Amino acid sequence: MAEFEIVNGLDFSSTAIQRARRRANVEGIEVQFIVDNLTDLQNASGTFDPLIGFGAG
């Protein structure tokens, strides 16, 4: 896996965030997870280089 300074996971679904957090822990990947709406960010600040995935499992 490529090295990144900061990895953020963002989803409007807290259930999806919980699943992603468990998977990241299993894989040993450090991720800052944020529950928010990508089209109207209220809980995330700063700038992002976006990568959007649909149906990740």
**Residue 55: per-residue pLDDT:** 67
- pLDDT at residue 22 in the model: 95
Question: Is 13 contained in some domain?
Answer: yes
Q: Are 26 and 49 in contact (CB under 8 A)?
A: no
pLDDT band at 33 (very low <50, low <70, confident <90, very high): very high
Q: Give the number of domains in the chain.
A: 1
CA distances from 8 to 3, 57 (A): 13, 17
- Establish if 16 belongs to a structural domain: yes
User: What's the whole-model pTM score?
Assistant: 0.70
Residue 20 sits in which domain range? 7-40
